[in-house]
Chain A
Amino acid sequence: MADRRDFTGRMSGVAVIRSNEVDFNPCMKHKVVRKAVRMFAETELGPIAHDIDRDARFPWEVVEKMSPLHFFGLQAAKRFGGAEMDSISYAITIEEISRVSAAVGLCLTVHNSVGVYPIERFGTEEQKRHFLPAMIRGERIGAFCLTEANAGSDAGGVETLAVRDGKDYVINGTKIFVTNGGICGTSLIFAITDSQNPQRSAGVFIVEKDTPGFTVGEIEDLCGMRANPVSSLFLEDCRVPEINLLGRPGDGLKIGLVTLDTGRLGIAAQALGLAQAAFEDSVRYSKERQQFRKPISSFQTIQNYLADMATDIAAARLLLYRACALKDSGRPFSAEAAMAKLFCSAAAMRVTNLAVQIHGGYGYSKEYDVERYFRDAKVTEIYEGTSEVQRMVIARDVLAQRT
């Protein structure tokens, strides 16, 4: 596994199991990562987070600032320009960016987890050298294109067809709800190579923006994550050379599943960042807002809300870090990633809902950030595998255990 690391050696501190002891304190590195990313996010994204949501504008100017700081190759190898972060540092980074702007956090996690990662994990040396450096420099933002009109949770329903023609593949099909669609430079397209045998012939093709036959559809008008241009992608006789096929024909489903496991960690982190932001705003507001001549934080009902929010967030964070730690130790983490994603996104919904409630009418107003967090949170239960799919993954693991 390309990203296997000596977990105990490099990440002493977070939930490391040493003999009979579990350490729940963040190690020095993770503290510094959080501090550094928070400082970046608050200075560079803080002032624009509200406006880019209102205007549904993707902030390219922030991409320019993020690129030299390795935000577009967070876990990628140093030799390609990446930062080689461990998975907990990665989760903290996504969480802290999403705490300020979940839409930008979304761009980063999709680019890193399901754009760069599968190429680094499954690509040949030639493919890595060819595709990765520009992606990691932030010049080509990654997108992962599985969903179609008749395929989503069921990856077997993909109808996009890639037909071998000499040394090339010619791809035809339409992908929908592509995160980063409007800004993508390098897309991973799921396509079948044999329409008679779709399950066994699925492949992943790397398609770059300037390829003839590749066009970006209209930007979707969505409820949340509005600063991220989600769109359809059209492939019409789109011809790519053989080097653009990741793995072999038939590997598509496997690549998709492994990639989504990693992607779920990022979405869980994003949901956690949203919950954290909504929680912090709620604590602050409940201390300021006076009703019946008292701050509303002095009312037990509000205190109960805050206690539930804090508990939800703490539990979500531990589940997420456990899945990250398992990934870095090279052990299976599919079920744990699904649990983290299921719980973090549900927690984000509960916490942002209570945040709006605590803010009352102001929380329902676009003047206040909690309104945005509330809208942004919902989709974390939908993309990168719906909550229903996460439960399928978890249940499959549960039922496979010996009783």
Chain B
Amino acid sequence: MVSELPWDPATGTLRRELAEGMINPACRAALEAALRIREAEGGEITAITMGPRMAEEVLREAIALGADRGVLLSDPKMSGADTSATSFTLARAIEQACPGFDMVLCGFATSDSETAQVGPQLAEELKIPGVGYVDEISVSGRTVRMQRLADNFLETLEMDLPGLITVTSGANVPRHVPMGGLQAAFDSADIVTLDAASLGLDPERIGVKGSATKIVNVTSPMAGKKNIVLTGTPKRIVDQLFERFDDKIGGAIGKDLKRDKQKS
């Protein structure tokens, strides 16, 4: 799983120091998918994330939910990585920490930057097939069958393992964290922290230095919210409301109010 941290909309940088350690919703769905596959097929789940030391929190939560172990990639040299450098770093870590892995499950995108690039790039880096935006997964032997909704078509695809799947947040509704698992995740969890040196990574290929792209500016769209006070008698207010917002109200209830009015 890949998890990133929230952006500060004011400065356009990652709020690493304030990181509330949330598992990205789609990554949580990917973990749920992994847990269901393990329930059906057996196997072991390793949760991987890259980030500052605080990112350990999401690994503990993943272990509380049922992951067998956690791997934290943490090194100041890794910071500021674009999606390509992130995928490169993750791939090398997966090769080292999970040799002989069968499946890599990622959230289809993070809820903050939403590039949806890390999953596909990671598959390329690992030289394995990859399928994105998957809702349902079933495994039989070395073949995995997946369903996804693409342009309103329900697609069924098959892929041989090892392979990579990115999971949507819709289908695999995550389970709640069991309290016992949570205590165990802090008492006796298997979490390893790897830095660039222990992964033998060339500092020129990771972090800011290894990033071909750079975010110049981030702006958050301002929601166009405005309070409008309508005055008068209730009838007048309702009339005004429909006059001014008939297209919006019509859109919400699926009726063309202007045409209805003309008819009557």
Contacts and interface: CB of A to CB of B under 8 A. Distances in A.
B61 A32 contact: yes
Contacts of A39: 176-177
Contacts of A33: 179, 182
B180 A36 contact: no
Nearest to A78: B180
Nearest to B187: A10
Nearest to A86: B183
Nearest to A11: B186
Contacts of A71: 179
A82 interface: yes
B186 A93 contact: no
A89 B179 CA distance: 9
Given A28-B60, A31-B57, A32-B57, A70 B180 contact: yes
Given A31-B57, A85-B183, A36 B176 contact: yes
Interface string A186-201: 0000000000000000
A68 B56 CA distance: 25
Chain B interface size, under 10 / 10 to 19 / 20 to 34 / 35 or more: 20 to 34
Contact of B180 (A44, A84, A290): A84
Interface size class of A (residues with CB under 8 A): 20 to 34
B64 interface: yes
A69 interface: yes
Contacts, number: 70
B183 A69 contact: no
Contacts of A44: 176
B56 A29 contact: no
A85 B181 CA distance: 10
B22 to A, nearest CB: 8
Interface string B167-188: 0000000001111101101110
**Chain A at the B interface: mostly helix, strand, loop or mixed?**
helix
Interface in A24-73: 28-29, 31-33, 35-37, 39-40, 43-44, 65, 68-71
A74 interface: yes
Nearest to A32: B61
A272 B56 CA distance: 29
B64 A32 contact: yes
A83 interface: yes
A84 to B, nearest CB: 5
Contacts of B21: 28, 31-32
B173 to A, nearest CB: 10
A185 to B, nearest CB: 20
A29 B182 contact: yes
Contacts of A28: 21, 54, 56-57, 60, 186
A290 B54 CA distance: 41
Contact of A93 (B54, B64, B179, B187): B179
A325 B54 CA distance: 24
A29 B177 CA distance: 13
Nearest to A71: B179
B176 A32 contact: no
Nearest to A295: B227
A84 B183 contact: yes
With a 10 A CB-CB cut-off, give which of B57, B60, B180, B227 has the most chain A CB atoms: B180
B31 to A, nearest CB: 14
B219 to A, nearest CB: 25
A287 B64 CA distance: 37
A74 to B, nearest CB: 6
A36 B183 contact: no
A284 to B, nearest CB: 15
Contacts of A40: 176-177
Contacts of A74: 179
Interface string A78-104: 100011111001000100000000000
A65 B178 CA distance: 10
Most A-side CB within 10 Å, residue of B56, B176, B178, B185:
B176
A82 B183 CA distance: 10
Contacts of A35: 20, 22, 61
A82 B180 contact: yes
B176 A65 contact: yes
A44 B177 CA distance: 13
A83 B176 contact: no
Interface of B: 20-22, 54, 56-57, 60-61, 64, 176-180, 182-183, 185-187, 227
19 contacts: A10-B186, A28-B21, A31-B21, A31-B57, A32-B57, A32-B177, A32-B185, A33-B182, A35-B22, A36-B176, A39-B176, A43-B176, A65-B176, A70-B179, A78-B180, A83-B178, A85-B183, A93-B179, A290-B227
Given A32-B64, A44-B176, 9 more contacts: A28-B21, A29-B183, A32-B185, A35-B22, A36-B179, A69-B176, A83-B180, A84-B180, A86-B183
The list of the 5 closest CB pairs from A to B, nearest first, reads A36-B177, A83-B180, A83-B179, A70-B179, A29-B186
